[in-house]
Amino acid sequence: MNIVKALGAEIPALGFGVFRMSDAEVEAAVPAALEAGFRHFDTAQIYQNEAALGRVLRSARVRREDLFLTTKVWVDNYSKDKFSASVDQSLDKLGIDRVDLLLLHWPGDKVSIADQISLLNEAQEAGKTRFVGVSNQNIAQTMESIALSRAPIVTNQIEVHPYLDQSAVAAAAKAAGVAITAYYGMADGAMPRHPLLQKIGARHGKSAAQVALRWLVQQDYVALSKTAKPERVAENFAIFDFALTEEDMAAIGKLARPTGRLVSPPGLAPVWD
């Protein structure tokens, strides 16, 4: 497994995300993910499956220190009376004393970045997480978070796939030493069906989905994969035994389009770069 290093954190370059997965799907897919070699798992309070993920991981024969667990605090909990308690609830559901990475899920438009970062720092200083980060922030918000945070902001988790040019955000993050964690890498199912990725995959003996994930990790992003089908999990993990050529990378990058963004909920999303 490749590692992405960021300001003291060592994050497995490929994670298994459980967004939009029911408890039953988590309980079926995560054992297959562990068997395939996944050790980085990404969940969130709003996914409502932290408890299911925790049950599976506790029952697995994997040492806690070999796992990298991320969860995210939902925007409704960005207040003094809710933030810490919500993290305690997440830890209780996951069955652990602390997560490896705690993220602010969305910047929203109701609570200042300064107040959000203060709450995040308090959780880290209380020992509830090893590292802290943000998610879905634009460049200005990320820079503000870095400036305000007492602990290093190790990642910004954002939507990244070939249809969406995130080079400006990625360059700003890299200059600050911050890792980009990429979600929605399959563009909501479009990438596995894309003729270009299928063609490139055929040359490498890989699927289009594997090409999409490889395109992410080859840019030094942390890539979050996801499937609810246990039989597909091993395929998602098998992306470290080949490399895309410079021509492959460039051709895939040219798929970006102005309408490529798929996730931008009103009231939660910032003004994007």
Q: Which residues contact 123 (CB under 8 A, 6 or more apart)?
A: 73, 83, 84, 87, 102, 129, 132
Q: How many residues does the chain have?
A: 273
Strands 9-12 and 3-6: antiparallel
Q: Hey, what are 105's tokens? A: 């899920």
CA distance 260 to 84: 36
The sign of the torsion formed by the CA atoms of 165, 167, 173, 179 equals positive
Q: Hey, what are 203's tokens? A: 């040359």
How many other CB atoms are found less than 10 A from the CB of residue 260? 16
C-alpha distances in Å from residue 168, one per residue of 140, 180, 209: 12, 12, 24
Q: At what angle do helices 246-253 and 208-217 cross, to 10 degrees?
A: 100
Is 40 flagged in the annotation as binding?
no
Q: What is the distance between the terminal CA atoms of the chain, rounded to a whole angstrom?
A: 31
DSSP run (H or E) holding 188: none
Residues forming the active site: 47
55: region left, alpha or beta (phi > 0 left; psi from -120 to 50 alpha): alpha
Which residue spans within 119-231 are E strands per DSSP? 129-135, 153-159, 179-183, 222-225
Binding annotation: 105
Binding annotation for substrate: 105
